[in-house]
Amino acid sequence: MDSFVIEGGTVLRGEVEVSGSKNAVLPIMAATLLTRETCVIHHVPDLSDVRFMCRILQSLGAVVTMEGGTLTVRAENITGTGDYDLIRKMRGSICILGPLVGRLRKASVSLPGGCVIGTRPIDLHLKGLSALGTAMRIEGGYVHAEAPGLRGTTVFMGGRSGPTVLGTANVVMASVLAEGVTVIESAACEPEVVDLCDFLNAMGARIHGAGSPTITVTGVPALAGVEHRVIPDRIEAGTFAVAAVASGGEVTLRGARPDHLGAVLEKLREAGARVERRNGALTVGAGSTLRPLELTTMPYSGFPTDMQAQFMALLCLANGTSIVTERIFESRFMHAAELLRLGADIGIEGPSAIIKGGRPLSGAEVMASDLRASAALVIAGMAAQGRTQVHRVYHLDRGYERMELKLSRLGARIERTQGE
Ligand code: EPZ
């Protein structure tokens, strides 16, 4: 397993190209199952999760090729049963359930595993699909779904932590070929859901209200192949912005969508960072001081849970006490224990982390536990004095395209070592 070796204390300066969005491209790849025709998707990030989803589509019978950031998928003859092991290993693969039900009216998909950040239930996915007339049976670790008559309906998709992103995606993708009109109430409003709906509408679907809590889908008989460019990854952009501020430097995020980063940029300003939008690019840099703050993760357009760990690393450097409250996932503070090994002072009290910042961090060996926690450890390691080794960076490779190369080009002293 690979590790990163980081020599801390470098200031990040320069420009970085923001890659395509992982959380947009995964459901869009699933949506290609809804047509027999060829789909061409541009600006696809080279991530292990994307390569995994390619294998899942191939296991269903689709022909998939990836050439330099452009993905071509033709799902002409597909089956409704995916490879158990493949699907079980990547939570995001649950989003093939909706399109398989929509296209074939029949699917067997392995239940996604939980992960370190929470149990990751799919009760809302099942609620939405059964409201459309899908009979669901859970047996042997699979969800077996049959929907002889898929009919539009109104369904409330809000859960105890608010809307569900992939649950909304699944219900939208099952309803685009259903009879009649489907109204999804308490739908997720994330930009990745909007990008999926843009993709589906380009295929000939009739979806209104994407980006709002109420999405209306009018079923159509069939969908066509389409060409599409994936939106930039707002979490990658936010991660590099936080890294720039933590290092005391300044980075221009080429291709970022500031309109997708409202809450993140607002919190960076509140912490004392400089945020400028210059000729179409977004530049974020350290200010004269780094201030502590309070933040709570919320559904979009609130502060994103996927930026919580990165901000915790930043707040370890602020002079004073900060409070970070995680309201989306039940255990998303795994990075706190590892940050303590770098000299941070963090106490967990229920859903909140109390960060007493201001003490300099010093390098240590740390262990990555999940995708965004790993990013937090890299940010902290670059700001720490001395050497930090981040082990198990395969977590990072799931969601960040060649992170160490992008950071090196900004001046970081970071290299990947091949593990045992
Ligand atoms: C998506 O996961 C993202 N993943 C996550 O990003 C992101 O953190 C999450 O949305 C929230 O924004 C992808 O898009 C591939 P949810 P998703 O359903 O859709 C509960 C990353 O780091 N819930 O919106 O699986 C759930 O337990 C990843 O890139 C139910 O209770 O998340 C959680 O508490 C991590 N029942 C909350 O809702 C359900 O049926 C939000 O989960 C479904 C979810």
Q: Is the pTM of this model over 0.85?
A: yes
CA–CA distance, 95 with 52 (Å, rounded to integer): 13
Atom of ligand 1 nearest to the CA of 115: 35
Atom of ligand 1 nearest to the CA of 300: 12
Q: How far is the CA of 376 from the centre of ligand 1 (A)?
A: 19
Told to judge if 115 belongs to the known catalytic residues of this protein, a careful annotator would answer yes
The domain containing residue 313 runs over which residues?
2-19+232-418
Atom of ligand 1 nearest to the CA of 123: 40
CA–CA distance, 364 with 2 (Å, rounded to integer): 16
Q: How far is the CA of 92 from the centre of ligand 1 (A)?
A: 9
User: Looking at the structure, do residues 12 and 46 belong to the same domain, yes or no?
Assistant: no
- For the Cβ of 272 lying below 6 angstroms from any atom of ligand 1, the answer is no
User: Looking at the structure, do residues 10 and 59 belong to the same domain, yes or no?
Assistant: no
Q: What is the CATH number of the domain that holds 306?
A: 3.65.10.10
Q: What is the pLDDT of residue 189?
A: 98
Atom of ligand 1 nearest to the CA of 127: 40
**Statement: residue 107 has pLDDT above 90:** yes
User: Looking at the structure, do residues 305 and 281 belong to the same domain, yes or no?
Assistant: yes
| Neighbour-count burial for 305-333, b at 16+ CB within 10 Å, e otherwise | bbbbbbbbbbbbbbeebbebbbbbbeebb
**Statement: residue 112 has pLDDT above 90:** no
Instruction: Give 147-192 pLDDT, tens digit per residue.
Output: 999 999 999 999 999 999 999 999 999 999 999 999 999 999 999 9
User: Looking at the structure, do residues 100 and 150 belong to the same domain, yes or no?
Assistant: yes
Q: How far is the CA of 413 from the centre of ligand 1 (A)?
A: 33
User: Looking at the structure, do residues 266 and 207 belong to the same domain, yes or no?
Assistant: no
Which is catalytic among the residues 115, 189, 197, 316?
115
**Statement: residue 253 has pLDDT above 90:** yes
Of all protein residues, the one whose alpha carbon is nearest to atom 18 of ligand 1 is: 164
Q: Report the candidate in 307, 336, 303 with the shortest Cα–Cα distance to residue 243.
A: 307
- For the Cβ of 398 lying below 6 angstroms from any atom of ligand 1, the answer is no
Q: How far is the CA of 159 from the centre of ligand 1 (A)?
A: 11
Q: How far is the CA of 349 from the centre of ligand 1 (A)?
A: 23
User: Looking at the structure, do residues 247 and 334 belong to the same domain, yes or no?
Assistant: yes
**Which one of 229, 254, 278 terminates a domain?**
229
Of all protein residues, the one whose alpha carbon is nearest to atom 1 of ligand 1 is: 165
Of all protein residues, the one whose alpha carbon is nearest to atom 4 of ligand 1 is: 23
Of all protein residues, the one whose alpha carbon is nearest to atom 8 of ligand 1 is: 306
User: Looking at the structure, do residues 174 and 215 belong to the same domain, yes or no?
Assistant: yes
**Distance set, CA 119 to CA 33, 48, 113, 123 (Å):** 27, 22, 8, 11
- Which pair of tokens denotes residue 40? 């061409």
Of all protein residues, the one whose alpha carbon is nearest to atom 9 of ligand 1 is: 165
Instruction: Give 217-249 pLDDT, tens digit per residue.
Output: 999 999 999 999 999 999 999 999 999 999 999
- Which pair of tokens denotes residue 363? 């390098």
Strand ranges across the sheet with 320-325: 294-296, 320-325, 352-357, 346-349
Give the pLDDT band (50/70/90) at residue 46: very high
Proportion of the chain above pLDDT 70, given as a percent: 99
**Statement: residue 279 has pLDDT above 90:** no
Q: How far is the CA of 360 from the centre of ligand 1 (A)?
A: 34
Of all protein residues, the one whose alpha carbon is nearest to atom 14 of ligand 1 is: 23
Best residue among 25, 94, 327, 328 to mutate for probing ligand 1's pocket (most ligand atoms within 8 Å of CB) is 328
**Which one of 229, 264, 279 terminates a domain?**
229
Atom of ligand 1 nearest to the CA of 126: 40
Q: How far is the CA of 336 from the centre of ligand 1 (A)?
A: 21
102 and 223 Cβ atoms separated by less than 8 Å: no
Give the pLDDT band (50/70/90) at residue 120: confident
33 and 103 Cβ atoms separated by less than 8 Å: yes
Q: What is the pLDDT of residue 321?
A: 98
Of all protein residues, the one whose alpha carbon is nearest to atom 44 of ligand 1 is: 164
Best residue among 164, 168, 308 to mutate for probing ligand 1's pocket (most ligand atoms within 8 Å of CB) is 164
**Which one of 177, 197, 229 terminates a domain?**
229
- For the Cβ of 98 lying below 6 angstroms from any atom of ligand 1, the answer is no
Give the pLDDT band (50/70/90) at residue 420: low
User: Looking at the structure, do residues 239 and 377 belong to the same domain, yes or no?
Assistant: yes
Instruction: Give 308-341 pLDDT, tens digit per residue.
Output: 999 999 999 999 999 999 999 988 999 999 999 9
- For the Cβ of 328 lying below 6 angstroms from any atom of ligand 1, the answer is yes
Q: What is the pLDDT of residue 114?
A: 61
CA–CA distance, 87 with 59 (Å, rounded to integer): 10
Atom of ligand 1 nearest to the CA of 159: 31
Mean residue pLDDT across the chain: 95
DSSP-assigned beta bridge partners for residue 5: 389, 415
> What is the total count of domains within the chain?
2
User: Looking at the structure, do residues 177 and 323 belong to the same domain, yes or no?
Assistant: no
User: Looking at the structure, do residues 241 and 220 belong to the same domain, yes or no?
Assistant: no
| Neighbour-count burial for 364-379, b at 16+ CB within 10 Å, e otherwise | bebbbbbbbbbbbbbb
Atom of ligand 1 nearest to the CA of 304: 12
User: Looking at the structure, do residues 207 and 237 belong to the same domain, yes or no?
Assistant: no
- Which pair of tokens denotes residue 187? 């739908």
- For the Cβ of 376 lying below 6 angstroms from any atom of ligand 1, the answer is no
User: Looking at the structure, do residues 15 and 42 belong to the same domain, yes or no?
Assistant: no
Q: Report the candidate in 90, 86, 53 with the shortest Cα–Cα distance to residue 71.
A: 53
Using omega within 30 degrees of 0 as the cis cutoff, is the peptide bond preceding 130 cis?
no
